[in-house]
Amino acid sequence: MRRRSGFGWLELMAGILLIALGIWALVDPGVALMRMVFAYGIAAIIIGIGDILLYIKVERYIGFGPVVSLISGILSVMAGIMLLAYPAAGTLALTLLFPIWFIAHCISRLAHLRHIRLMAGGGMYTFTLAINIIGLILGIMMVLQPLFTLATIWYFASFYLLLLGIDGILIAVSPLGNGR
């Protein structure tokens, strides 16, 4: 039997990268939108891979996984690849894709909250519940008010990337990150 370190390295790396991207976006909100599209493309791919891996882990643990997590992961990876391949189109599409990505990712995380509580405990459950409800509300607000999204996307993105990064690090050090 192979011993596990009790540490989710992918989640830790994704969490650190997301926190770095969030801080970068907060410190320099006037950065060129093309560079932001590139950064969010990378973040979407990493988060998508994380959602797919979480689906696989949960499926291994209980015999079935939340399909929403798998679909969200695939959509995140596809959106990330599109942003990297077509950054010019990404600047225009970002105001539409970003809120949809927010909503899809939050629904994915909310869909497997029961599994997070079971595997990682009540504290992680509460934190994940809170940040994903906030993300869902922000995503809906951005869909309903696209001009609002265009004007505030850097700040929403920055704070939400920071929260996602913290969530990733907490998952990495929780029992969920040990790969059992």
pLDDT tens for 66-82 read 777 888 889 889 988 98
Rounded distance between C-alpha atoms, residue 12 and residue 67, angstroms: 23
Rounded distance between C-alpha atoms, residue 44 and residue 73, angstroms: 9
Q: Count other Cβ atoms within 10 Å, centred on residue 86.
A: 14
Q: Quick one: pLDDT at residue 4?
A: 47
Rounded distance between C-alpha atoms, residue 101 and residue 77, angstroms: 10
Give the dihedral of Cα atoms 150, 128, 28, 148; nearest 10 deg. Answer: 10
Q: Quick one: pLDDT at residue 149?
A: 66
Q: Quick one: pLDDT at residue 7?
A: 56
Is 14:170 a contact under the CB 8 Å cutoff? no
pLDDT in tens, 154-169: 677 677 778 778 887 8
pTM exceeds 0.95 = no
pLDDT in tens, 108-151: 888 878 877 877 778 888 888 888 898 888 888 878 887 766 66
3-state secondary structure (DSSP) of residue 5: coil
pLDDT of 15 strictly over 60: yes
Q: Quick one: pLDDT at residue 13?
A: 81
DSSP string, 37-72: HHHHHHHHHHHHHHHHHHHHHHHHHHS---HHHHHH
DSSP string, 125-173: HHHHHHHHHHHHHHHHHHHH-HHHHHHHHHHHHHHHHHHHHHHHHHHHH
Q: Quick one: pLDDT at residue 113?
A: 82
Q: Which of 82, 84, 62, 75 is nearest to 106 (CA)?
A: 75
